[in-house]
Amino acid sequence: MYGDGVTDDVDRTAFRRAEKKYKLYYDQNSRKKKQPRSVDLTEVVDFKSILDTFNQSGETPNGVHVIKGDFDCPVIRLVNRPGFYFIPGALTVEQQCQWIRESLMSFPQPPNRTNHNAHYGPIQDLFAAAGEEKILVEDEHSPKESESLSNGHPRRWKFCDKKGNVSLKGYGGNSILASVLLRKLRWSTLGLQFEWSKRNYDVSLPHNKIPDELCQLVKRLAMPAMPAGDDFKPEAAIVNYFASGDTLGGHLDDMELDWSKPIVSMSLGCKAIFLLGGKSRDDEPLAMFLRSGDVVLMAGEARECFHGVPRIFTDSEHSEIASLEKHLSTEYDRCFLDYITSSRININIRQVF
């Protein structure tokens, strides 16, 4: 499944070279505010542009097929990547806004787990606490770290209101701003929980079910990649959160039982570059743009292909989130807009069994 990045001994692989090519770097010699180093994007495939051309002339590049069938949206298929499907603009703006809200407010809620569980245990209402400028403070009566681990992480932390200009040290013990924790949120799990230490799903772990509305949406989105006569069963999801400079190293999604069933991947927020490689890191990966509302399906042979996200674009010129800015313009939605203007969310839904 997800790797922890790649080490120096694989820097020479084609996949690693592509990751480094598109990764965000800053010019070190700039006398002004640090500026992102320019990157050559001419080789990045733009499926939105390809679809626009197809709609006008019926033409596509060699090896790219556009499928227009019973499905609601045109689906793009690559001849040299069987099992990979790209659906540009599959989600309406309203759907994008809905699942951005859910990804921040609902999906990280206990008993679902996040990357923060290992240190802080379950954290309730993180997004709301960040908006209220609260601080997570270690309970002075909490057990020692060793006792906490042996007892299965009893709750040792609580949110407190910010006390004027009091520094974090003034709260006693360990403390951290909720806004900092939100920015450090990297993943949350929904539905059946993945046990990272065992590298497998643990059906005994408590969890919130995937919402019915999301299940119905994903079942429809999965149709182009499903074996004839089968229905997709959404059983687990991993939600990834990206800020500027964040990456997702090359990896395989190989922990599910039946690879003929697709992974359904929904992109929300700032535009990103997605790398689709082959069955070896030595295979040259294909770089493509992922925009908010795009959906990727990976099934069959595509499940054996290394893939990752080396770059997201948070600058106004490249992020391409004007439609989200328009629809998240109310006072209620201001907090979601503040987050998503510099972030990307990816929801990966899987059939486990």
Enumerate the known binding-site residues for Fe cation.
Answer: 251, 253, 307
* Nearest alpha-carbon partner for 286 in 305, 314, 259, 313: 305
Place of tokens 């001994």: 9
* Nearest alpha-carbon partner for 21 in 4, 5, 34, 38: 38
Dihedral of CA 3/4/5/6: which sign? negative
Query: Which amino acid does the sequence have at 225?
Result: A
Residue 84 CA to residue 275 CA, distance in Å, equals: 12
Give the residue numbers of the binding site: 251, 253, 307
Specify burial of residue 73 (Cβ count, 10 A radius: 0-12, 13-18, 19+).
middle
Three-state DSSP state, 292: coil
Render 139-196 in DSSP notation, one character per residue: -TTPPPHHHHHHTT----EEEE---TT--GGGG-SSEEEHHHHHHT--EEEEESEEET
Residue 341 CA to residue 320 CA, distance in Å, equals: 10
Place of tokens 């499903």: 226
Beta-carbon contacts of residue 337 (< 8 Å; ≥ 6 apart): 324, 325, 328, 329
DSSP secondary structure code for residue 88 in this structure: T
